[in-house]
Amino acid sequence: MVEFTLTGTEPLFASPSFRFMLKDAEALNARLVPAIQARRAEHPGLLRSNQHGWHSDFGLFRWQEPVFQELCQAVARAVMAATKEVAPGYAFRGRSLQAEGWVNINGQHAYNTPHDHPGWAWSGSYYVQVPEAQGRSGLFEFLDHRTNANVVGIEGAACFATKVPVTPRAGMLLLFPAYLQHWVYPNAQPEERISIAINARYSPVTLPAKG
pLDDT score of 186:
98
Give average pLDDT by consecutive 10-residue segment, the chain, 211 residues: 95 93 98 98 96 98 98 98 97 96 98 98 98 93 82 86 94 98 97 98 82 61
pLDDT score of 149:
62
pLDDT score of 209:
67
pLDDT score of 90:
97
pLDDT score of 210:
67
54-55 sheet: strands from edge to edge? 18-21, 172-177, 122-129, 193-204, 95-106, 54-55
pLDDT score of 101:
98
pLDDT score of 207:
65
Q: Which letter, b or e, does each residue of 171-197 get, where b requires 16 or more Cβ atoms within 10 Å of its Cβ?
A: bbbbbbbbebebbbbbbebeebbbbbb
pLDDT score of 153:
85
pLDDT score of 117:
98
The span from the CA of 88 to the CA of 191, in Å, is 41
pLDDT score of 5:
97
**All domains of the chain, ordered by start, with CATH?**
19-87+99-203 (2.60.120.620)
